[in-house]
Structure 1
């Protein structure tokens, strides 16, 4: 998974299994120290339980992989240290909100979050709340993240059936287009009203992407690659 590639799939088979992660076990002291440093920088981050993946395989419009549970501190260290265990990947769902006028809506992460200042579609590292019947429910994770970050519910958008799986290094972003029945400015105003009611919102601003000129270096490459493909197909 070294070069960026986009797979379009219709089915996800993401089993969750009890796997011991040698990286997290063998480097525990270093991980603990690293997380303590990060908490000094951003006291609001906490060491919850998250899910990471192994063994991703794409075939005939299908993605299969195995997920395992670990702590956020181990995930953060693995990410910050350049992904020292190459067998593991960070695979998560993203809801690509698309307004009726074709604009995509992205959020800028607030300063208290681990990804402060980054701009991308609503998403989050999968956690234990996303497990259904022994499998990772990415669709449910997207619905949850959209609701938490923007206040929009599944009744507010029509989700397309396919997933655009953007593979970039040790990241797999499983992106689902969510079509809103409202123009971009109206959708942004509605989300901003939701953020104004939140005591500590995850997002600090909402950005409209109407064309390639709206892409910025603060957006992850897997996000801009997806947007580029979407605009090229219009």
Structure 2
């Protein structure tokens, strides 16, 4: 079975073995015409979209804390086509979430800018895996998280204390692999740093930081999987 993760359940991850296969992804190969047509429609509606390179899974399995998978480099247009057909057998998406935790135990998320694909949605700064996130053919989760968090917020994950264990939750929109990073600064100090980064960026991907102070907090625009992550954090501080 290519994918065996139970849906909407948070699972601990102690070992990650996700590798990049240089072969073309069968989903991209078999849907080339439909992908091209869909991209023409999407990019016409949002000219800011860029058909860059990312990765898509062809297999992902979980067994007793070990996550194993195979990825292939694809175009962003392929991912958008997969999003419209996410029940496709043999293809799935995963992305890594660094969860910034302030010195006062508060979560610091972000709201995406209006011109992005997930406009106005709230989640933790993150991005899809790219070929550069694979070292020796194997994914480096911290490398991906640190790059995406720095690009979007200006925060340095290497200045925070990373928890040893990752966790994951599998959703129809993809597998979220997350890890808490604890900063010494208060939530307000982290938010002020992020606002400064946004102000200095000529084309920011995010519009504002979102401080989540307790489990009851439900900011407008939360991605569907975010309430589960919020509840998990405040239940496992």
- TM-score, reference length from structure 2: 0.92
- Give me the whole-angstrom Cα distance separating, in 2, the residues matched to 1:135 and 1:65: 10
2:131 to 123, 128, 149: 128
Q: Which runs of 5+ in 1 are unaligned?
A: none
2:47 paired with 1:38 = no
CA contact 2:25–2:58 (8 Å) conserved in 1: no
Query: 3-state DSSP class of the match of 1:19?
Result: coil
Distance 2:158 2:70 in 1: 31
Three-state SS of the structure 1 residue aligned to 2:126 is coil
Compute the displacement of 1:27 (Å): 2.4
* Residue aligned with 1:213, SS: coil
Provide the C-alpha distance between the structure 2 equivalents of 1:21 and 1:104, rounded to a whole number of angstroms: 36
Match of 1:23 in 2: 27
Structure 1 residue 222: deviation in Å? 2.2
When the two structures are superposed, what TM-score results if normalisation uses the length of structure 1?
0.93
Query: d(CA) in 1 for partners of 2:216 and 2:169?
Result: 21
Tell me which stretches of 4 or more aligned residues in structure 1 moved more than 3 Å: none
Matched, 1:53 2:57: yes
How many residue pairs were aligned? 233
Indicate whether 1:142 and 2:145 are aligned: yes
2:97 maps to which of 51, 71, 94: 94
Contact 1:67 1:136 in 2 (8 A): no
2:196 partner SS: helix
Please report the RMSD computed on the Cα atoms of aligned residues, expressed in angstroms: 1.6
Structure 1 counterpart of 2:115: 112
Unmatched 5+ stretches in structure 2: none
